[in-house]
Amino acid sequence: MFDKELQTLIDDMIETMRAAPGVGLAAPQVGVSQRLIVVEYGDEEDEDAPKKLFVVANPEILSASEEMVDGTEACLSIPRVMGDVERHEKVVVRGLNRFGKPVRYKLSGWMARIFQHEIDHLEGVLFTDRASRAWRVQEEEQVPDNV
Protein backbone atom coordinates (compact mmCIF):
# COMPACT_ATOMS: atom_id res chain seq x y z
CA MET A 1 0.00 0.00 0.00
CA PHE A 2 2.85 2.43 0.81
CA ASP A 3 4.24 2.42 -2.71
CA LYS A 4 5.29 5.17 -5.13
CA GLU A 5 1.69 5.62 -6.28
CA LEU A 6 0.55 6.34 -2.72
CA GLN A 7 3.43 8.77 -2.19
CA THR A 8 2.36 10.64 -5.32
CA LEU A 9 -1.23 10.77 -4.08
CA ILE A 10 -0.05 12.14 -0.72
CA ASP A 11 2.09 14.80 -2.42
CA ASP A 12 -0.82 15.76 -4.69
CA MET A 13 -3.20 16.00 -1.72
CA ILE A 14 -0.77 18.24 0.18
CA GLU A 15 -0.40 20.48 -2.87
CA THR A 16 -4.19 20.65 -3.35
CA MET A 17 -4.78 21.44 0.34
CA ARG A 18 -2.20 24.24 0.32
CA ALA A 19 -3.45 25.74 -2.95
CA ALA A 20 -7.06 25.87 -1.75
CA PRO A 21 -6.00 27.12 0.90
CA GLY A 22 -7.06 24.61 3.51
CA VAL A 23 -5.81 23.01 6.69
CA GLY A 24 -6.90 19.45 5.93
CA LEU A 25 -7.95 17.16 3.11
CA ALA A 26 -9.27 13.60 2.93
CA ALA A 27 -8.72 11.28 -0.03
CA PRO A 28 -12.47 11.00 -0.83
CA GLN A 29 -12.49 14.78 -1.42
CA VAL A 30 -10.23 14.22 -4.42
CA GLY A 31 -12.17 11.21 -5.67
CA VAL A 32 -9.99 8.50 -4.12
CA SER A 33 -11.60 5.79 -1.99
CA GLN A 34 -8.80 5.39 0.53
CA ARG A 35 -8.67 6.05 4.25
CA LEU A 36 -6.06 8.79 4.02
CA ILE A 37 -5.94 12.34 5.38
CA VAL A 38 -3.45 15.19 5.31
CA VAL A 39 -3.51 17.99 7.87
CA GLU A 40 -1.31 21.06 8.12
CA TYR A 41 -1.80 23.61 10.84
CA GLY A 42 0.27 25.88 13.04
CA ASP A 43 0.20 26.60 16.74
CA GLU A 44 -3.02 28.38 17.77
CA GLU A 45 -1.08 30.44 20.30
CA ASP A 46 1.80 31.43 17.99
CA GLU A 47 0.83 32.34 14.43
CA ASP A 48 4.52 32.73 13.48
CA ALA A 49 5.39 29.17 14.51
CA PRO A 50 6.00 26.77 11.63
CA LYS A 51 3.03 24.67 10.57
CA LYS A 52 2.97 20.95 11.36
CA LEU A 53 2.20 18.53 8.54
CA PHE A 54 0.45 15.23 9.31
CA VAL A 55 -0.18 12.40 6.87
CA VAL A 56 -2.31 9.64 8.37
CA ALA A 57 -3.47 6.46 6.65
CA ASN A 58 -6.27 4.48 8.27
CA PRO A 59 -6.84 7.11 10.99
CA GLU A 60 -8.95 6.00 13.92
CA ILE A 61 -10.16 7.98 16.91
CA LEU A 62 -9.20 5.88 19.93
CA SER A 63 -10.71 8.13 22.56
CA ALA A 64 -12.46 11.47 22.80
CA SER A 65 -13.02 13.81 25.72
CA GLU A 66 -16.49 14.20 27.17
CA GLU A 67 -15.97 17.96 26.90
CA MET A 68 -17.51 19.32 23.73
CA VAL A 69 -16.84 22.72 22.16
CA ASP A 70 -18.64 24.71 19.50
CA GLY A 71 -16.70 26.08 16.56
CA THR A 72 -17.26 27.49 13.11
CA GLU A 73 -16.13 25.27 10.25
CA ALA A 74 -15.87 25.50 6.49
CA CYS A 75 -14.92 22.86 3.95
CA LEU A 76 -13.16 22.65 0.61
CA SER A 77 -15.96 20.33 -0.57
CA ILE A 78 -18.67 22.93 0.04
CA PRO A 79 -17.27 26.32 -1.01
CA ARG A 80 -18.63 29.49 0.62
CA VAL A 81 -20.64 27.60 3.26
CA MET A 82 -19.88 27.79 6.96
CA GLY A 83 -21.50 26.18 9.97
CA ASP A 84 -21.42 25.89 13.73
CA VAL A 85 -20.32 22.39 14.75
CA GLU A 86 -19.92 20.83 18.17
CA ARG A 87 -16.82 18.62 18.45
CA HIS A 88 -14.81 16.89 21.16
CA GLU A 89 -12.23 19.22 22.74
CA LYS A 90 -9.62 16.43 22.81
CA VAL A 91 -9.09 13.24 20.83
CA VAL A 92 -6.45 10.54 20.55
CA VAL A 93 -5.91 9.39 16.97
CA ARG A 94 -3.85 6.50 15.70
CA GLY A 95 -2.96 5.42 12.20
CA LEU A 96 0.02 4.97 9.93
CA ASN A 97 2.32 7.68 8.62
CA ARG A 98 3.17 8.01 4.93
CA PHE A 99 5.80 5.27 5.29
CA GLY A 100 3.52 2.75 7.02
CA LYS A 101 4.88 3.34 10.54
CA PRO A 102 2.37 3.48 13.41
CA VAL A 103 1.61 6.96 14.77
CA ARG A 104 -0.50 8.15 17.67
CA TYR A 105 -1.47 11.76 18.34
CA LYS A 106 -3.01 13.37 21.40
CA LEU A 107 -4.80 16.39 19.99
CA SER A 108 -6.75 19.27 21.46
CA GLY A 109 -8.39 22.49 20.37
CA TRP A 110 -8.44 23.38 16.71
CA MET A 111 -6.11 20.52 15.76
CA ALA A 112 -8.54 18.01 17.30
CA ARG A 113 -11.37 19.67 15.36
CA ILE A 114 -9.49 19.40 12.06
CA PHE A 115 -8.75 15.70 12.57
CA GLN A 116 -12.38 14.96 13.49
CA HIS A 117 -13.57 16.88 10.41
CA GLU A 118 -11.23 14.98 8.07
CA ILE A 119 -11.96 11.58 9.61
CA ASP A 120 -15.67 12.34 9.16
CA HIS A 121 -15.00 12.63 5.39
CA LEU A 122 -13.74 9.03 5.44
CA GLU A 123 -17.09 7.99 6.92
CA GLY A 124 -19.07 9.98 4.33
CA VAL A 125 -20.05 12.67 6.85
CA LEU A 126 -19.82 16.37 5.99
CA PHE A 127 -19.63 19.15 8.57
CA THR A 128 -23.09 20.30 7.45
CA ASP A 129 -24.45 16.93 8.65
CA ARG A 130 -23.26 17.84 12.16
CA ALA A 131 -23.87 21.59 12.09
CA SER A 132 -26.41 23.16 14.42
CA ARG A 133 -26.53 26.05 11.96
CA ALA A 134 -25.09 26.52 8.46
CA TRP A 135 -25.04 29.54 6.18
CA ARG A 136 -23.76 30.72 2.82
CA VAL A 137 -20.99 33.30 2.90
CA GLN A 138 -21.37 36.32 0.61
CA GLU A 139 -18.72 36.86 -2.07
CA GLU A 140 -17.22 39.88 -0.30
CA GLU A 141 -16.96 38.11 3.06
CA GLN A 142 -13.71 36.50 4.14
CA VAL A 143 -13.96 32.73 4.60
CA PRO A 144 -11.59 31.30 7.23
CA ASP A 145 -9.18 28.46 6.42
CA ASN A 146 -11.18 25.51 5.19
CA VAL A 147 -10.83 22.13 6.82
Angle at alpha carbon of residue 146, lines to 39 and 21, rounded to 5°? 80
Cα gap 42→44, rounded to integer Å? 6
- Residue 21 is assigned to a structural domain of this protein: yes
Question: What's 101's domain CATH number?
Answer: 3.90.45.10
Beta strands in 28-89 (DSSP E): 36-41, 52-64, 68-75, 78-88
Mean pLDDT of the chain: 93
- Residue 144 is assigned to a structural domain of this protein: no
Cα gap 92→28, rounded to integer Å? 22
- pLDDT at position 82 over 70: yes
- Residue 143 is assigned to a structural domain of this protein: no
- Residue 29 is assigned to a structural domain of this protein: yes
For residue 30, what pLDDT is reported?
Answer: 96
- Residue 94 is assigned to a structural domain of this protein: yes
**What is the rounded average pLDDT of the residues 83-112?**
97
Give 90's strand partners. 108
**What is the rounded average pLDDT of the residues 82-91?**
98
Q: Residue 98: what residue type?
A: R
* Catalytic-residue membership of 118: yes
In this predicted model, what pLDDT tens digit does every residue of 12-69 receive, in sequence order? 999 999 999 999 999 999 999 999 999 999 876 677 778 899 999 999 999 999 999 9
Of the candidates 1, 98, 116, the one whose C-alpha atom is nearest the C-alpha of residue 62 is 116
- Residue 146 is assigned to a structural domain of this protein: no
CA–CA distances in Å: residue 20 to residues 14, 98, 140, 145: 10, 22, 17, 9
- Residue 12 is assigned to a structural domain of this protein: yes
Cα gap 94→103, rounded to integer Å? 6
| Domain that residue 93 falls in | 4-136
**What is the rounded average pLDDT of the residues 76-88?**
96
For residue 37, what pLDDT is reported?
Answer: 98
For residue 42, what pLDDT is reported?
Answer: 80
Q: Please give the tally of structural domains in the chain.
A: 1
In this predicted model, what pLDDT tens digit does every residue of 25-41 receive, in sequence order? 999 999 999 999 999 99
For residue 1, what pLDDT is reported?
Answer: 62
- Residue 53 is assigned to a structural domain of this protein: yes
Cα gap 129→29, rounded to integer Å? 16
- Considering 47, 73, 89, 118, which one is annotated as catalytic? 118
Concatenated DSSP letters of 95-140:
EE-TTS-EEEEEEEHHHHHHHHHHHHHHTT--HHHHEEEEEEPPTT
